[in-house]
Amino acid sequence: MPELNPQMAKILELMAEAMKDRPPRVTLSPVEARAQSSATFEAFWNADRPTLWAVYNREIPGPGGPVRVRLYDPGIARPAPCLIYVHGGGWVICNLDTHDGACRRLALAGAFMVASVEYRLAPEHKFPAGLEDCVAAVRWIAAHGAGWGIDPGRLAIGGDSAGANLALATLLSLRDAGDQLVRAGLLIYGAYAAATDTPSCHAYGDGSYILSSDDIDWFWGHYLNDAADKSNPLAAPLLADLRDLPPILLTACEFDPLLDDSRRLAARLEEAGTPHRFVFWPGVTHACIHMTRMLDVAQNHIEDMGSWVREQLAG
């Protein structure tokens, strides 16, 4: 039988206690859900964020107006390799600040710069607005990142949860346009298809493990324009032709309703002949990379991901 990491179990107890008097996310408006996320998540899990040599807030042009980018520099020689990072949050919540600690740790673990992208959120900006911002960010950094000390020939893209979805869709969009701008993809416990009728959703989607099946349906409902978008491979990249992509590191948590999304994606990448590595994280839940202050294995996972990206961007 699956067993929770003891530290993870304690975290879940504390989170359940903190949330017991708060309304479920699916009963909130997107604006209310963002405020709740900032109040309950952002400050606590970023309280132990490490210090970097420099952190810069920048803006770049995007298809819907300026796109905010936060650049994390661990103090490495320039021109430096760079991971373009796309935050999670179901396309609806979260921002540069919620993922600040995770981006700092990735930059230190991999000895590369991290450029965190604040794409437009749904439902104010539905699919494909956020994806268009991510594609625009990669193109801009490839063309102009040298001015930030970035080596445009050593770029990777990554993200967690909905950010993993957007990172993979960005790789697909660039490939379809004939643009080989990115050397690797980092996909952390992602959502790759608009479906909750999976074994992992049935096993772990009751709300006991941070993310529920109802949450997943709520997020997809805000992100997509209509039912037809569920079949669009740029919205649901599990349905895409996955050939001719750069090497991909795919990670998944054991106690996560999205576990089967990653398992299915790993099988599809294998069928496509796309170089990839699938890493299963036992005993932990969705969002675990933020929990380093209480979950020892979270830092181990970040170190492993940083090392893999660094290897892909070497030379």
Question: Mind listing the pLDDT tens digit for each residue in 113-169?
Answer: 999 999 999 999 999 999 999 999 999 999 999 999 999 999 999 999 999 999 999
Which residue, among 41, 161, 142, has the nearest Cα to 101 in the 3D structure? Answer: 41
Task: Write the CA distances from 265 to 9, 100, 278, 289, integer angstroms.
Answer: 28, 27, 9, 20
Split at pLDDT 50, 70, 90, the class of 41 is confident
Query: Which tens digit of pLDDT belongs to each residue from 262-310?
Result: 999 999 999 999 999 999 999 999 999 999 999 999 999 999 999 999 9
Domain boundaries, the chain: 6-312
What is the per-residue pLDDT across 203-258, written as a single tens digit (0 to 9) for each?
999 999 999 999 999 999 999 999 999 999 999 999 999 999 999 999 999 999 99
pLDDT at 43: 84
User: Would you put residue 161 in left (φ > 0), alpha (ψ -120 to 50) or beta?
Assistant: left
Is the bond leading into 123 cis (omega within 30 degrees of zero)?
yes
Question: What is d(CA 262, CA 199) in angstroms, rounded to the nearest whole number?
Answer: 12
- Going by CATH, does the domain composed of 6-312 fall within 3.40.50.1970? no
User: Hey, which residues are catalytic here?
Assistant: 161, 256, 286
Phi, psi of 54, deg, nearest 5 = -160, 145
pLDDT at 39 over 90: no
The mean-pLDDT minimum among 12-21, 109-118, 179-188 falls in: 12-21
Count the helices and strands in the chain (H runs, E runs). 10, 8
CA distance 148 to 259: 37
Structure-token match 């067993």, residue found: 3
Q: How far is CA 82 from CA 135, 140, 143, 282, in A?
A: 15, 13, 13, 29
SS3 251: strand
